[in-house]
């Protein structure tokens, strides 16, 4: 039994979901969404606040300020509420309504930038507003998740060791790239660990098409979480073995395919899963132990990724018609009924014995 007084004191560290039966490739998802902030960002938020308190930057009358597309904002709102700080989150139109409402319910103040900065996109506009806000009030403390080393140190200290304890013979780890805090913390941890083991872990970064983090061409990105419109200051590519880019339509397919099996994950998780499955389809070998960090759950994406009209208007019919990967087999060896038409409703028709459900 766990009894806590601070919400950040609880975080499920040992839950993994085996999705081989869903996608046909061996992959275990480390679920980071089972905490009161609902995402992996709780780790970075906790570490950054603690570091600012230790060095005296954060004082009782300080106002926490951060730019976030959503998940870190929720985590900081929660921590600020528990510690008595005022918190201002600067976000943009891509932030889900549910996320904004959560931050406000926790006492956070949400400011949405109206436009995009010419070269930096929404992120550039957000950062420009944060700088102006801090310049206008010396109580403001900007934790700067994009450049704060406490971001990656949180995962060097927690996420990497947690995965090693569960899978000491790990072969490949897939980590999504946003600020690259999770990626760099895990990559640095496994690089240091690899020096002492015969079986080194391969670290594969998963990024969104349209992100420029790894030098890609900038493009439209509507699903918050992964991807950057500037090169992440924390990123050191020498620690990363490979990079996989994922189209947002494939993110949606992965999310919806998991949901059809009862696992409601968020957009960041869908991107990581899609990238991991693509990599495994080309490079997987029998007996490979592969883990992907699943950053978030899906409730905050009900009005976007899981909303048919939103998907159809922005991405067309494709993501609604196909799951995008080879159907998994049922225990009998035949395709599972839900995989025959993964996104189509069942055809319910009358029979002599009552109602029969016939997959289309």
Question: What is the pLDDT confidence band of residue 116, given thresholds at 50, 70 and 90?
Answer: low
Q: Is residue 153 part of a domain?
A: yes
Residues 137 and 172 in one domain: no
Q: Pairing between strand 242-246 and 202-208?
A: parallel
Q: Reduce the DSSP state of residue 98 to 3 states and report it.
A: helix
Residues 126 and 274 in one domain: no
Residue 304 reports pLDDT greater than 90: yes
Residue 43 reports pLDDT greater than 90: yes
Q: Is residue 348 part of a domain?
A: no
Q: Minimal CA–CA distance to 327: which of 94, 62, 21, 75? A: 21
pLDDT at residue 291 in the model: 98
Residue 173 and residue 233: Cα distance in Å, rounded? Answer: 22
The reported pTM is 0.87
Residues 159 and 191 in one domain: yes
Q: Are 233 and 147 in contact (CB under 8 A)?
A: yes
pLDDT at residue 197 in the model: 80
Question: What is the pLDDT confidence band of residue 103, given thresholds at 50, 70 and 90?
Answer: very high
Q: Are 52 and 313 in contact (CB under 8 A)?
A: no
Question: What is the pLDDT confidence band of residue 93, given thresholds at 50, 70 and 90?
Answer: confident
Q: Is residue 343 part of a domain?
A: no
**Is the model more confident about 97 or about 115?**
97
Residues 283 and 227 in one domain: yes
Residue 358 reports pLDDT greater than 50: no
Residue 199 reports pLDDT greater than 60: yes
pLDDT at residue 195 in the model: 84
Residue 206 reports pLDDT greater than 60: yes
Q: Reduce the DSSP state of residue 106 to 3 states and report it.
A: coil
> Which residues are part of the catalytic machinery?
41, 268
Q: 32: domain CATH number?
A: 3.40.50.1100
Residues 245 and 136 in one domain: no
DSSP conformation letters of 69-94: SSHHHHHHHHHHHHHT-EEEEEE-TT
Q: Are 69 and 95 in contact (CB under 8 A)?
A: yes
pLDDT at residue 317 in the model: 92
Give me the residue label for tokens 């570091």.
51
Q: What is the pLDDT of residues 281-291, one digit of tens each?
A: 999 888 999 99
The DSSP element (H or E) to which 48 belongs, if any, is helix 41-54
Residue 42 reports pLDDT greater than 70: yes
Q: Is residue 312 part of a domain?
A: yes
Residues 50 and 31 in one domain: no
* Distance, C-alpha 258 to centroid of its chain: 15
Residue 244 and residue 42: Cα distance in Å, rounded? Answer: 25
| Helices and strands (DSSP H and E) totals, the chain | 13, 12
Residue 8 and residue 212: Cα distance in Å, rounded? Answer: 32
Q: What domain range is 94 assigned to?
A: 41-142
Q: What percent of the chain has pLDDT over 90?
A: 79
pLDDT at residue 342 in the model: 42
Residues 166 and 287 in one domain: yes
Chosen domain end from 142, 170, 190: 142
Question: What is the pLDDT confidence band of residue 120, given thresholds at 50, 70 and 90?
Answer: low
Least confident residue range of 74-88, 272-286, 303-317, 336-350: 336-350
Q: Is residue 109 part of a domain?
A: yes
Chosen domain end from 82, 107, 142: 142
Residue 348 reports pLDDT greater than 80: no
**Adjacent-strand bridge partners of 202:** 172
Residues 171 and 66 in one domain: no
Q: What is the pLDDT of residues 213-269, one digit of tens each?
A: 999 899 999 998 899 989 999 999 999 999 999 999 999 999 999 999 999 999 999
Q: Pairing between strand 172-176 and 86-91?
A: unpaired
Chosen domain end from 142, 168, 196: 142
Residues 56 and 201 in one domain: no
Q: Is residue 50 part of a domain?
A: yes
Looking at the 3D structure of the chain, how many domains does it have?
Answer: 2
Give the chain's mean pLDDT: 88
**Is the model more confident about 332 or about 240?**
240
Q: In sequence order, which residues have a C-beta less than 8 Å from that of residue 124 and are 6 or more positions away?
A: 116, 117, 118, 229, 230
Residue 346 reports pLDDT greater than 60: no
Residues 103 and 226 in one domain: no
Residue 144 and residue 177: Cα distance in Å, rounded? Answer: 16
Least confident residue range of 166-180, 251-265, 333-347: 333-347
Q: Is residue 300 part of a domain?
A: yes
pLDDT at residue 96 in the model: 86
Q: Is residue 355 part of a domain?
A: no
Residue 165 and residue 148: Cα distance in Å, rounded? Answer: 27
Residue 263 and residue 132: Cα distance in Å, rounded? Answer: 41
Q: Are 92 and 73 in contact (CB under 8 A)?
A: no
**Adjacent-strand bridge partners of 110:** 89
Residue 352 reports pLDDT greater than 70: no
pLDDT at residue 337 in the model: 36
- Beta strands in 193-346, from DSSP E residues, in sequence order: 202-208, 242-246, 290-294
Residues 30 and 61 in one domain: no
Q: How many CB atoms lie within 10 A of CB 219?
A: 14
Q: Are 38 and 99 in contact (CB under 8 A)?
A: no
Residues 190 and 291 in one domain: yes
Residue 106 reports pLDDT greater than 90: yes
């Amino acid at each position: 039994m766990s009894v806590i007084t601070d919400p950040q004191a609880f975080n499920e560290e040992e839950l993994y979901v085996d999705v081989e039966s869903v996608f046909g490739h061996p992959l275990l998802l480390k679920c980071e969404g089972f905490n009161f902030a609902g995402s992996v960002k709780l780790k970075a938020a906790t570490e950054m606040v603690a570091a600012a308190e230790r060095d005296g930057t954060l004082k009782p009358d300080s106002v926490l300020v951060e730019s976030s597309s959503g998940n870190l904002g929720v985590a900081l709102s929660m921590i600020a509420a528990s510690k008595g700080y005022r918190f201002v989150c600067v976000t943009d139109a891509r932030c889900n309504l549910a996320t904004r409402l959560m931050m406000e319910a926790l006492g956070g103040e949400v400011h949405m930038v109206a436009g995009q900065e010419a070269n930096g996109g929404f992120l550039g506009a957000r950062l420009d507003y944060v700088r102006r806000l801090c310049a206008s009030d010396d109580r403001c403390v900007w934790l700067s998740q994009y450049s704060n080393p406490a971001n990656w140190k949180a995962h060097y200290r927690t996420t990497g060791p947690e995965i090693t304890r569960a899978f000491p013979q790990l072969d490949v780890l897939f980590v999504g790239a946003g600020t690259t805090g999770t990626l760099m913390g895990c990559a640095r941890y496994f690089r240091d660990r690899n020096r002492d083991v015969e079986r080194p872990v391969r670290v594969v970064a998963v990024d969104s098409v349209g992100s420029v983090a790894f030098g890609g061409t900038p493009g439209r990105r509507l699903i918050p979480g992964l991807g950057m419109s500037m090169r992440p200051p924390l990123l050191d590519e020498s620690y990363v073995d490979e990079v996989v880019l994922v189209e947002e339509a494939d993110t949606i397919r992965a999310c919806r395919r998991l949901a059809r099996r009862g696992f409601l994950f968020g957009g960041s998780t869908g991107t990581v899963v899609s990238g991991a499955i693509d990599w495994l389809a080309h490079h997987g070998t029998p007996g490979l132990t592969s883990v992907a960090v699943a950053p978030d759950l899906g409730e905050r994406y009900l009005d976007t990724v899981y909303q048919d009209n939103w998907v159809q208007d922005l991405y067309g019919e494709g993501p609604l018609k196909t799951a995008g990967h080879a159907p998994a087999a049922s225990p009998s060896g035949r395709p599972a009924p839900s995989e025959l038409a993964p996104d189509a409703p069942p055809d319910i028709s009358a029979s002599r014995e009552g109602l029969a459900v016939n997959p289309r």
